[in-house]
C-alpha cells in the first residue's frame, strides 16, 4: 500500500531535517570552535531552517509558542493540539 504524504507533513519534515542539522552542527562546534567549514555548514542550515519554519508557520500556524509572540493575534491556542490531529484526520 502506497503511503501518501501531505504538503503539511512534507514541510514539517523539512523543518525537522534542518533543525537536526543545526543541532548536530552546534554540538560539533562546541568541540571544534575554530572549524570554519562547520561554522559555514551551521550558518547555511540555520538560515534554511529559519526559512522552512517561516514558510510552515505562514501556512499552518506557529510551531512553538514563542513563534506566535510577534503576531497580532494569539494563534497558538487556535491550532489543533497533537492529540486532536488524528481526530481531525478520521472525521
DSSP string, 55-66: HHHHHH--SSGG
* pLDDT band per the 50, 70, 90 thresholds, residue 19: very high
Domain boundaries, given as residue ranges, for the chain: 7-63+73-90
CA of 51: how far to CAs of 11, 55, 70, 77, 82, in Å?
Answer: 11, 6, 17, 23, 23
Nearest to 61 by CA among 79, 84, 82: 79
What's the pTM?
0.73
Tell me the per-residue pLDDT of 35-44, one tens digit each, with 9 for 90 and over: 999 999 999 9
The four Cα atoms 47, 74, 89, 50 give a dihedral, to 10 degrees, of 0
Q: Report the pLDDT value the prediction gives residue 65, as an integer from 0 to 100.
A: 74
Amino acid at each position: 500500500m502506497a503511503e501518501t504524504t501531505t504538503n503539511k507533513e512534507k514541510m514539517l519534515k523539512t523543518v525537522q531535517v534542518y533543525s537536526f542539522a543545526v543541532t548536530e552542527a552546534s554540538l560539533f562546534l562546541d568541540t571544534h570552535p575554530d572549524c570554519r567549514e562547520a561554522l559555514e555548514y551551521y550558518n547555511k542550515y540555520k538560515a534554511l531552517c529559519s526559512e522552512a519554519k517561516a514558510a510552515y508557520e505562514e501556512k499552518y500556524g506557529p510551531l512553538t509558542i514563542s513563534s506566535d509572540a510577534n503576531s497580532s493575534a494569539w494563534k497558538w491556542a487556535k491550532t489543533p493540539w497533537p492529540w486532536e490531529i488524528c481526530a481531525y484526520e478520521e472525521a
